Copies of this chain bind each other. A is one copy, B any other.
């Protein structure tokens, strides 16, 4: 067993800085989900993790606040789904444990696949107000990915707390990234 760590260090892949223009805005929901799917695709191409990408935006301006890719196997850390990484990056930039800051802008999460149970819980704590997604839970399950205990009432629980869901944007593109990953023999790890 490794020695007891004093800290957990999560470097982002080097390619991220080149793949994302952090200065541009993403005005439409489609633009925002397209970036999440692009990150998923780049993560597969660079072999830095699973076929999932995510990003956080200011709802009104489309300003890019955070990005994430799945880093679970490369970092040996089950928490590092794309959405969780995007929340960590966005909260580091905003300087708050919640993106729901009084008098601050509202935030969207865009993700290449409907959030698993862990990430859906994370959505609630993150402070985002909208969740935009591409591939569906059923798409992921059909390829062998477990999505965990997410039920229709799970979504309603978040909707009752003023979080809105928009699914199926660029769905075929996101599914194609997952299919490419599986066809290449990428690890489909589950519980």
Contact = CB atoms under 8 A, between A and B. Distances in A.
Contacts of A190: 125
A154 B161 contact: no
Contact of A5 (B2, B93, B161): B93
Contacts of A125: 72, 78-79, 116, 118, 148, 189-191
A95 B74 CA distance: 11
A131 to B, nearest CB: 12
A11 B8 CA distance: 6
Interface in A1-26: 1-12, 17, 22
B2 A6 contact: no
Contacts of A79: 79, 84, 87-88, 122, 125
Contacts of A10: 7-10
Interface of A: 1-12, 17, 22, 65, 72-73, 75-79, 84-85, 87-89, 91-98, 100, 116-122, 124-127, 146, 148-149, 151, 153-154, 157-158, 161, 163, 189-191
